[in-house]
Amino acid sequence: MTVTAQTGAYRPAPPPKWRPLTDAAPLLPDERPHRVLGTGAELDPALMSELYTQLVKGRRYNQQATALTKQGRLAVYPSSTGQEACEVAAALVLEERDWLFPSYRDTLAAVARGLDPAQALTLLRGDWHSGYNPLECRIAPLSTPLATQLPHAVGLAHAARLRGDDVVALALVGDGGTSEGDFHEALNFAAVWQAPVVFLVQNNGFAISVPLAKQTAAPTLAHKAVGYGMPGRLVDGNDAAAVHEVLADAVARARRGGGPTLVEAVTYRMEAHTNADDATRYRVDAEVEAWRAHDPVALLESELTRRGLLDEDGIAAAREAAERMAADLRDGMNAEADLDPMSLFDHVYAEQTTQLREQAEQLRAELAAADEHDEHDAPDPHAQHGQEDGR
């Protein structure tokens, strides 16, 4: 093959004619986090009503899931309390054919997209599988290793574009995740490939205990976009209308072939990292209280009420819907998990290897022996456990 037959982006250029590949100015983020609420900007009543209902449900979902950890019904729950505007807006900006790539803190986004709340929590309940079929809801399985889901979003969006499909991928990551190599590689690939993907960084102030100042020296996380040649957008992450607007712009841009966008939503993690964490070891209450005055649910509620877009009935209806959802979640979590130890061997490979067949037989024999043992030794210790858990 000769050089003249080369395809791709190579452009011969003599040294004196140096020029940047991309003009940086249009990529720079807004000087301040973009806001809609409180600015007098026009609001779409139907969208605001949907956002509000979902925010109220989202807050209730976070409370209920946290309560379930205290009852031993969930192994762990990383709460998104305080970040509901980001979670909900991310779900609502997507079309049905689009894909969502959540991290472990983003089960609410999956639920807001329509996933059954109990199903969304399968992994966090301590089961071995994602609980839902990602192909049916176009929600990737929750990613626990940080930022590793971002290159998946890029690859999927790239594949969709190659196939001529009008599909956008939206990937969620936290401020801590932006330090990971996969964040860098994903953004770089996305920009080089002009993949239809949107990255939403929820900057909630902490990576478990480590504050943002120890995570980055960049002016903002949105500035990182410039280095990859994609636009960076900075938005108030507690202003649901603003997050929705910025994400919707980015999704539309991606859909029309304009390439990826990095959005940084400035928000705050109101709860500890998870139920297993103690936030008082690394932050002061006064800071948390200051953010409580900028609560995403209260912000939207007061604005919509002031503008006459929401009344007492609307508030009551949203709260009722939230209670129904919470009751469903409790019911789902109180039902015994359908656990079959033999299923652990079913999906390791398309076809079981000889070695796994042998190991499955070993476990089957162990289970049979345990059953026999239980029959001879009443009372059954497993049954007792079941009763305790059932409180």
Partner 1 sequence: MSTAATRRPADATRAPARKPTPLAQALNRAMRDAMAEDPAVHVLGEDVGTLGGVFRVTDGLAEEFGDERCTDTPLAEAGILGAAVGMAMYGLRPVVEMQFDAFAYPAFEQLVSHVARMRNRTRGALPMPITIRVPYGGGIGGVEHHSDSSEAYYIATPGLHVLTPATVADAYGLLREAIASDDPVVFLEPKRLYWSKDDWDPRAPAAVEPIGRAAVRRTGTSATLLTYGPSVPVCLEAAEAATAEGWDLEVVDLRSLVPFDDETVTASVRRTGRAVVVHESGGFGGPGGEIAARVTERCFHHLEAPVLRVAGFDIPYPPPMLERHHLPGVDRILDAVDRLQWESRWTEGDGR
Active site residues: 269, 273, 282
Q: Is 186 one of the binding residues for partner 1 (CB under 8 A)?
A: yes
CB of 43 to partner 1, least distance (A): 35
Q: Which is nearer to partner 1, 191 or 242 (CB)?
A: 191
- Mask for 191-230, x = binds partner 1 (CB under 8 A): -x--------------------------------------
List the one residue from 87, 98, 182, 271 that touches partner 1 (CB under 8 A).
182
List the one residue from 116, 185, 277, 328 that touches partner 1 (CB under 8 A).
185
Q: Which helix (H) or strand (E) holds 101?
A: strand 99-101
List the one residue from 96, 349, 375, 378 that touches partner 1 (CB under 8 A).
349
Q: Which is nearer to partner 1, 180 or 323 (CB)?
A: 180
* Alpha-helix runs per DSSP H in 102-239: 107-112, 117-120, 122-125, 134-137, 149-162, 181-193, 224-228
CB of 93 to partner 1, least distance (A): 19
Q: How far apart are CA 119 and CA 45, in angstroms?
A: 31
Could you tell me if 325 and 57 are in contact, meaning their C-beta atoms sit under 8 angstroms apart? yes
Q: Residues 364, 368, 373, CA angle at the centre, nearest 5°? A: 145
CB of 342 to partner 1, least distance (A): 13
- Applying CB under 8 A, the span of 147-155, 210-218, 307-315, 379-387 interacting with partner 1 comes to 147-155
Q: How far apart are CA 4 and CA 6, in angstroms?
A: 5
135-139 long-range contacts, CB within 8 A, separation 24+:
137/110, 137/113, 138/96, 138/97, 138/98, 138/99, 138/100, 139/99, 139/100, 139/102, 139/110, 139/113, 139/115
Q: Is 308 one of the binding residues for partner 1 (CB under 8 A)?
A: no
List the one residue from 150, 172, 272, 299 that touches partner 1 (CB under 8 A).
150
The residue count for binding partner 1 (CB under 8 A) is: 48
Q: Is 387 one of the binding residues for partner 1 (CB under 8 A)?
A: no
